[in-house]
Amino acid sequence: MSHEPRPAGDGSALPALRYRDYRVFWLGDGLSSIGTQFTTVAMAWQIYELTNSPLQIGMLGLAQAIPQMTLLLVGGLLADAVDRRKLMVATQLVQLGVSALLLTATALRVVSPGVLYLASMLIGVATSLDNPARQALVPNLVARTDLTNALALTNAQRRFAQIAGPALAGVALAAVGPALCYGVDTASWLAMLAALLMLRTRPSAAGRPAVSLKALGEGCRFVWTHPVILTMMALDFGMNFLGSPQALLPIYARDILVVGPQGLGMLYAATAAGSLVAALCMSLRGTVQRAGLLVLVGVIVYGATTVVFALSHLFWLSLLMLAGAGAGNTVGAVLRQTINQLSVPDELRGRMTAVNSVFTTGGPRLGQFESGVTAAWWGAEASALVGGLATVALALGVLLQGSVRNLEIVGGRPVDRRAGAASAASAETPA
């Protein structure tokens, strides 16, 4: 692995941006992320308009979750076995094709729930192969000491996209319709493709495993034998499966808060606004020592604000609570990613990331399905309320257990402050 060295003695508050390849990747990924939000908003609105069913919103998430959770481990193995940049070029081309399919079907007025389900499944296949390579590539672009800053900036860029994307998508949806949203997303994939082709960093081919079940099992064993990493992943899955109100936002926008498609864009953007503020604060703050405790605080804030959002009938209060949920989620997510990435050698990073993505990517999609089913049975407000309470209970249980609460990052390595030595989340390769 090679990357452009940062000038010695550089005191920049945003050191990751001093790496040319990281800047290129960061900008391209940001533009692509904005386009993705256009499709996310348009698909959710379109399926609800076509079916008038909360359950169908949940089914749309399930259609994406099934291939994601089935193929993510394969994506992680490929991320370690082949050139990560080339793998991502292939997956971007697939996602560009899906956006073009949705654009064409909508423009020709032949879009249907079946078309949306097919598109969601294809997106799930592409992202399952893309996400492990995308996440594993970032540590190849910066030095180890600047990884926390790079992850915080990547998170900030994604959250900004989640603010700008839904807000602009809401306007486009109200003014023109879903076709414009899909057109913007189709064009945005070209930015990511250009960024990938411009990268100079070439990770070393040494140590790449063969594509085999044995190599796949090695990555799974690594995660299983590191309890802190496993706990971080379980936290991620639990809060996204139980507590995510995102799938319910079309129902809140149309039926509870009565704010229409433009209000829907603002609801989506509110979560991202809180996330962006939190991510920028973390990127400026630098290394956080009490990382484990702050992970749990972030999850508790996320759950508590979700509870208030569930009960709110005031638009401004709903926006505020979604922003608080976004901030809490981002604090926890950045630190969970940092702990996980610092705890694994590069030759296992793609597979570890894939196992983690089963939790972080599958959780929200299955959570979308769970929220839709619960809303269909008991109503959207009850669904969000139960999810928020369950998330707080999960975090308090892990807090009392203690292993995560006492985790610190010292010298670029996670350690248990009680023992003063490498924690269970050490970077040693398992035998």
Amino acid, single-letter form, for residue 144: R
Q: Which two tokens stand for residue 164?
A: 């700008």
Q: Is 53 exposed, middle or buried (0-12, 13-18, 19+ CB in 10 A)?
A: middle
The identity of residue 428, as a single letter, is E
DSSP lists the bridge partners of residue 414 as: 409
Confidence at 8, pLDDT banded by 50, 70, 90: very low
Residue 316: count of CB within 10 angstroms of its CB = 9
The answer on pLDDT for 142 being more than 70 is yes
Is the pLDDT at 23 greater than 80, yes or no? yes
C-alpha neighbours within 13 Å on the C-beta side of residue 37: 31
155 in Cβ contact with 101 (< 8 Å): no
Place of tokens 């993510």: 72
The DSSP letter of residue 16 is G
How large is the average pLDDT for residues 265-287? 78
What sign does the CA torsion over 117, 41, 36, 98 have?
Answer: positive
Q: Among 224, 236, 241, which Cα is nearest to 65's?
A: 241
CA gap 262, 268 in Å, rounded = 10
SS3 content of the chain, % helix, strand, coil (to 5): 80, 0, 20
Q: What's the DSSP call for residue 146?
A: G
Range from 72-76, 359-363, 389-393, 404-408 that averages highest in pLDDT: 389-393
Distances from the Cα of 383 to the Cα of 51, 244, 334, 353, 390, angstroms: 20, 10, 27, 30, 11
Q: Which residue has the tokens 């401004």?
A: 316
Beta bridge partner(s), residue 422 = 415
Q: Kindly list the structural domains of the chain, giving each domain's residue range(s) and its CATH number in brackets, ordered by start.
A: 15-201+210-422 (1.20.1250.20)
Q: Output the 3-class SS for 217-230.
A: HHHHHHHHCCHHHH
Q: What's the pLDDT score for residue 93? A: 93
Higher-pLDDT residue of 311, 147: 311
CA distance 132 to 355: 9
Q: Looking at residue 5, what is its pLDDT?
A: 47
Distance between CA atoms of 178 and 39, rounded to whole angstroms?
Answer: 8
Q: Return the CA Rg of the chain.
A: 21
Backbone CA torsion sign across 246, 251, 252, 254: positive
Q: Is the pLDDT of residue 2 over 50?
A: no
* Section 15-26 average pLDDT: 87
- Residues 226-250: what's their mean pLDDT? 75
CA-to-CA distance for 264 and 8, rounded, in angstroms? 47
Residue 103: the pLDDT is 93
pLDDT value at position 421? 45
Question: pLDDT at position 294, please?
Answer: 81
pLDDT band of residue 181 (cuts 50, 70, 90) is very high
For the cut 70, the answer to whether the pLDDT of residue 212 exceeds it is no
pLDDT bin (cut points 50, 70, 90) of residue 90 is very high
The pLDDT score that the predictor gives to residue 203 is 62
Q: Which of 66, 83, 276 is nearest to 165 (CA)?
A: 276
In this prediction, residues 226-253 reach a mean pLDDT of 76
Kindly give the residue spans of alpha helices, DSSP state H, lying in 82-206. Answer: 84-107, 113-141, 147-175, 178-198
pLDDT category of residue 119 using cuts at 50, 70 and 90: very high
Portion of the chain with pLDDT greater than 90, in percent = 16
Sheet containing 413-416: order of strands? 407-410, 413-416, 421-422
**Is pLDDT of 363 > 70?**
no
Confidence of residue 151 (pLDDT cuts 50, 70, 90): confident
User: DSSP secondary structure string, 242-262?
Assistant: HH--GGGHHHIIIIIS--HHH
Report the pLDDT value the prediction gives residue 376, as an integer from 0 to 100: 75
Q: What is the mean pLDDT of residues 363-381?
A: 72
Quick count: other Cβ atoms within 10 Å of Cβ 377?
11
Instruction: Summarize the confidence of residues 56-73 as an average pLDDT.
Output: 79
The average confidence (pLDDT) of the chain is 78
Confidence (pLDDT) at 427 = 40
Dist. CA 410–CA 386, nearest whole Å: 37
Confidence of residue 1 (pLDDT cuts 50, 70, 90): very low
Mean pLDDT of 224-235: 75
